[in-house]
Amino acid sequence: MSNRKLLPRLGAAAAGLFLSLLLLEGGIRLGGYFFQLRQEYRNFRSVRESGNVRILCVGDSTTADGYPEFLEEVLNRRIREKKFSVINRGVVASNSSETLENLPDDIKRFSPDIII
């Protein structure tokens, strides 16, 4: 195949690859945005309910993707005398420094009884 025919094909392949990666990145960011919206909605729903024992869970993706919803469910099922609201402030791809930096604002914002 001559260089005259090869260059346009390589350019088209590179453009297609670039566009595919751009769409993939946009999809991942959009998914993360909706994940955060869902998490914030649950957090503020928990805060609105007065009289609950508020538990603030902070951490990284292990917290964000994992145990806070389960913890709330188990506590409310097993301890009937009190109502528990678990606030999930886990942030995907964060580290301990970021968690500690955000903690004072989270305490002011959510007024937790317990912090995990």
pLDDT in tens, the chain (116 residues): 566 777 778 878 888 888 888 888 877 677 666 766 776 777 676 666 667 899 999 888 888 777 888 898 899 999 988 889 888 888 887 788 888 888 999 899 888 999 99
Place of tokens 């392949």: 13
SS3 14: helix
Place of tokens 């912090």: 115
Q: Please compute, for residue 61, the number of CA atoms within 13 A of its CA located in the half-sphere on the CB side.
A: 4
The helix (run of H) or strand (run of E) holding residue 28 is helix 3-48
pTM of the model: 0.65
Place of tokens 């528990």: 84
Contact in structure between 85 and 76 (CB atoms under 8 Å)? no
Most distant CA atoms of the chain, gap in Å: 80
